[in-house]
């Protein structure tokens, strides 16, 4: 049995891993990351985090990316982070960060006033820390930073459309759109279609962080975009608040997949530890898983990539797709180690079809039966003859 099949079999027997013990820091200005900065005018940009990690974040232990790193760590795959920019001042991406355009405001895409894009990039491809702290799922993937927000984290459909096109033209295979908008837009729809022609998988949150919604958000509401929601350590749909898991579902929007999104730990500005809760963080983890899968199987199409991620997910035990969890919760190990050919919601391992032999020739059956009967009759006659001879000998020895 190959190592990949053995690993898949072990996962199938063990089932989903239990949530790990991990630090859940109290929310403060240094530890909590959000999609926007509502107090930007009063407080300015988010300050670097000085908090150190006290163990491996629960989402990383749950997803177990290190189990599949022998098959690939994302090398050769570029993931675009379409958000507030990516600050590499801490060196968490080393030389794997490429700066795309900043489509609003001053500076380049390496400036991140909000810290949200930096956090997303760390979840996808942040370096592995030697002390057992946070790590990106695909720590050798390249990141293309595309900044589409103002300094408060706000954006427009037109800016998102330009950002998606920049990611597609920049050679990315996967892109996480970190900030959704509430209404459809022709330019955004055209950009989504353009990404498909360029072989770019778009992963987007099924709702905004920190808010409930009464309908679809975009680009997740468009066909062809992988819409992701977040779950907490208890398996329930996570709250959008930055303080931890809760119970808030996206109402009315399509959900394709779920991933850890409650009290997710990772890299903050300045390289310190930070946490965030909401579907955008779950979307980043799905993008990281896609990078791992592509580093092992680089010729997958977007449709094949989506099918693999969905068909290997932990199913919720309800009719699929589930309104709250879609096809289930992301299973990184199964997605990377599965053999191709599994259907959506089905077993990820493709077995050879069972071949039923054709019916036997009736003439052959009759002939075989006759021979068997003849052989049995001969054996019976031989046995009776042996008994008769034995009786005769015993009579000959009896006294007269």
DSSP 214: S
Question: Residue range 278-304: average pLDDT?
Answer: 97
Name the least confident of 112-121, 229-238, 257-266, 307-316. Answer: 229-238
CA–CA distance, 207 with 218 (Å, rounded to integer): 9
Question: Residue range 237-245: average pLDDT?
Answer: 47
Task: Give the list of residues 6+ apart from residue 293 with CB closer than 8 angstroms, or none.
Answer: 300, 305, 308, 309, 335, 336
394, burial (CB in 10 Å: exposed 0-12, middle 13-18, buried 19+): exposed
Is residue 250 very low, low, confident or very high in pLDDT (cuts 50, 70, 90)?
Answer: very low
DSSP 321: S
CA–CA distance, 218 with 186 (Å, rounded to integer): 11
Highest mean pLDDT among 214-218, 273-277, 279-283: 279-283
Q: What confidence score (pLDDT) does residue 240 get?
A: 52
Mean per-residue pLDDT over the chain, rounded: 80
Q: What are phi and psi of 119, to 5 degrees?
A: -65, -45
Per-domain residue ranges for the chain? 17-337, 362-400
CA–CA distance, 148 with 178 (Å, rounded to integer): 10
Identify the residue with better confidence: 169 or 6.
169
CA–CA distance, 330 with 285 (Å, rounded to integer): 9
CA–CA distance, 59 with 81 (Å, rounded to integer): 20
Q: Quick check: pTM over 0.75?
A: yes
- Size of the chain in residues: 400
Q: What confidence score (pLDDT) does residue 70 get?
A: 97
Residue found by looking up tokens 């820390």 in the block: 129
Is residue 325 very low, low, confident or very high in pLDDT (cuts 50, 70, 90)?
Answer: very high
Q: What is the pLDDT of residues 21-66, one digit of tens each?
A: 444 434 444 478 999 998 998 899 999 988 888 889 999 999 999 9
Does the structural domain 17-337 have CATH classification 3.40.50.200? yes
Q: What confidence score (pLDDT) does residue 239 get?
A: 59
Question: Residue range 3-16: average pLDDT?
Answer: 36
Q: What confidence score (pLDDT) does residue 344 get?
A: 38
Question: Residue range 218-227: average pLDDT?
Answer: 97
Q: What confidence score (pLDDT) does residue 132 get?
A: 76
Q: Is 221 helix (H, G, I), strand (E, B) or coil?
A: coil
Nearest to 231 by CA among 239, 243, 223, 241: 239
Which stretch of DSSP H or E encloses residue 373? helix 362-396
CA 303 to chain centre: 14
Task: Give the list of residues 6+ apart from residue 91 with CB closer than 8 angstroms, or none.
Answer: 127, 271
Structure tokens at 17: 């891993």
Question: What percent of the chain stands above pLDDT 70?
Answer: 73
Q: What confidence score (pLDDT) does residue 236 get?
A: 86
Question: Residue range 161-169: average pLDDT?
Answer: 98
Is residue 19 very low, low, confident or very high in pLDDT (cuts 50, 70, 90)?
Answer: very low
Q: What confidence score (pLDDT) does residue 142 get?
A: 98
CA 335 to chain centre: 7
Identify the residue with better confidence: 246 or 111.
111
Q: Buried b / exposed e across 338-376, counting CB within 10 Å, b at 16+?
A: beeebeeeebbbeeeeeeeeeeeeeeeeeeeeeeeeeee
Name the least confident of 87-101, 118-132, 261-275, 368-382. Answer: 368-382
DSSP 350: P
186, burial (CB in 10 Å: exposed 0-12, middle 13-18, buried 19+): exposed
Whether 311 contacts 302, CB under 8 Å:
no
Question: Residue range 281-285: average pLDDT?
Answer: 98
Q: What confidence score (pLDDT) does residue 38 get?
A: 87
Q: What confidence score (pLDDT) does residue 64 get?
A: 97
CA–CA distance, 228 with 284 (Å, rounded to integer): 9
SS3 content of the chain, % helix, strand, coil (to 5): 35, 15, 55
């Amino acid at each position: 049995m190959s190592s990949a099949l053995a690993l898949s079999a072990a996962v199938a027997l063990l089932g989903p891993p239990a949530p790990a013990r991990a630090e859940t820091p109290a929310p403060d200005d240094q530890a909590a990351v959000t999609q926007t900065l509502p107090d930007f005018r009063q407080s300015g940009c988010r300050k670097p985090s000085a908090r150190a990690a006290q163990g491996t974040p629960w989402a990383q232990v749950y997803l177990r990316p290190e189990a599949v790193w022998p098959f690939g760590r994302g090398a050769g795959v570029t993931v675009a982070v379409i958000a507030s920019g990516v600050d590499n001042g801490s060196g968490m991406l080393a030389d794997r960060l490429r700066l795309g355009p900043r489509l609003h405001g001053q500076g380049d895409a390496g400036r991140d006033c909000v810290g949200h894009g930096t956090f997303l990039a760390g979840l996808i491809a942040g370096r592995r820390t030697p002390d057992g702290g946070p790590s990106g799922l695909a720590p050798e993937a390249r990141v293309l930073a595309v900044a589409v927000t103002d300094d408060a984290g706000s954006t427009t459909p037109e800016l998102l459309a330009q950002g998606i096109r920049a990611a597609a033209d920049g050679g990315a295979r996967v892109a996480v759109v970190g900030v959704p908008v509430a209404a459809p837009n022709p330019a955004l729809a055209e950009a989504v279609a353009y990404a498909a022609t360029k072989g770019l998988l778009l992963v987007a949150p099924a709702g905004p962080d920190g808010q409930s919604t009464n309908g679809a958000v975009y680009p997740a509401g468009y066909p062809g975009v992988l819409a992701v929601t977040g779950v907490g350590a208890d398996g329930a749909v996570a709250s959008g608040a930055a303080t931890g898991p809760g119970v808030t579902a996206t109402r009315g929007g399509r959900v394709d997949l779920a991933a850890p999104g409650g009290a997710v730990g990772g890299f903050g500005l300045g390289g310190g530890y930070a946490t965030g809760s909401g579907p955008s963080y779950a979307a980043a983890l799905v993008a990281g898983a896609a990078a791992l899968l592509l580093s092992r199987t680089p010729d997958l199409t977007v449709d094949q990539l989506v099918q693999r991620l969905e068909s290997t997910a932990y199913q919720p035990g309800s009719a699929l797709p589930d309104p709250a969890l879609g096809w289930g919760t992301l299973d990184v190990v199964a997605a990377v180690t599965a053999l191709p050919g599994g259907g959506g919601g089905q077993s990820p391992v493709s077995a050879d079809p069972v071949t039923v032999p054709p019916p036997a020739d009736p003439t052959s059956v009759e002939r075989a039966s006759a021979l068997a009967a003849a052989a049995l009759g001969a054996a019976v006659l031989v046995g009776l003859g042996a008994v008769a001879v034995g009786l005769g000998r015993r009579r000959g020895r009896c006294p007269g």
